[in-house]
Structure 1
Amino acid sequence: MANPGERVADVSCSHDKLTVDLEDGPTISVPLAWYPRLLHASTAQRQNWELAGGGFGIHWPDVDEDLSVEGLLRGAPAPQSNVLIG
C-alpha cells in the first residue's frame, strides 16, 4: 500500500519518458515504452490525465490507461496483451 506522501502531484510525458512527481518530493521516471497506450497516444491525449484512487493513481481517459503509484514505485511495466494498438 502507498504511503500518504506518495500521492501524485504532477505528471508529464516526453517522447520517451513518463515522469510523475509525488507530493512528498520524489520524482519517478520510467520508459514510456512500458505503457504502449501512452507511447502511441498523441501529446494532447497524454496531457489529459486525472488523479485516481484518492491521488494514488493516474487515469488517462482518452486512452483508457490507469497506473498506480505503487506499481510505478515497483517499476512495473504494463502487462503484455495480444491486443494491437494502432
Structure 2
Amino acid sequence: MNTYHQIDEIKIKDGKLSLKVDGQSISKTLLEISSILAKASEKELNHYEISPSGYGIYWPLIDEDISIDGLLGIAHSPAQWQKSA
C-alpha cells in the first residue's frame, strides 16, 4: 500500500484542528475545514480514524471525512487520475 502522508499529533481543541503532516505543523479552524466538523460535539470530534495510507481522516460518528491533500491545498487535475491507453 502506498503511503501518501505521515499524519501525527492530531489535536482538536477550541474549534481548531492541529496536526503534523509529513513533519509540518498544520492548524486550521474547524469552520475552515468543514461546517459539519464545526458543529460536531467533542465526543464526535474525538472519535476519528486516520486512513492507513495517510490519505485522510474520517469521523464515523458524523460520517465526515477530509483529505489531507485538500487540507494542504494540493489540487489534482483530472488528467492525473486518467489511465494511459
Same fold (TM over 0.5): yes
Instruction: Check the 8 A contact 2:4/2:54 in 1, yes or no.
Output: no
Report matched runs for 1:30-45 at 5 Å: 30-34=28-32, 35-45=34-44
Report matched runs for 1:1-86 at 5 Å: 4=3, 6-22=5-21, 24-34=22-32, 35-52=34-51, 54-74=53-73
The 1:75/1:30 distance shift into structure 2, 3 A limit, reads farther
Instruction: Check the 8 A contact 2:10/2:19 in 1, yes or no.
Output: yes
**Amino acid aligned to 1:26:** Q
Cα distance between partner residues in 2 of 1:25 and 1:53: 17
The 1:31/1:56 distance shift into structure 2, 3 A limit, reads same
Question: Where do 5+ consecutive residues of structure 2 fail to align?
Answer: 76-85
Q: How much is the aligned-residue C-alpha RMSD, in angstroms?
A: 2.4
Aligned-residue identity in percent: 33
Structure 1 residue 39: Cα displacement: 1.1
Cα distance between partner residues in 2 of 1:53 and 1:67: 14
The 1:45/1:73 distance shift into structure 2, 3 A limit, reads same
Runs of 4+ in 1 over 6 A off after TM superposition: none
Structure 1 residue 20: Cα displacement: 2.0
Tell me the number of residue pairs that the alignment of Structure 1 and Structure 2 aligns.
73
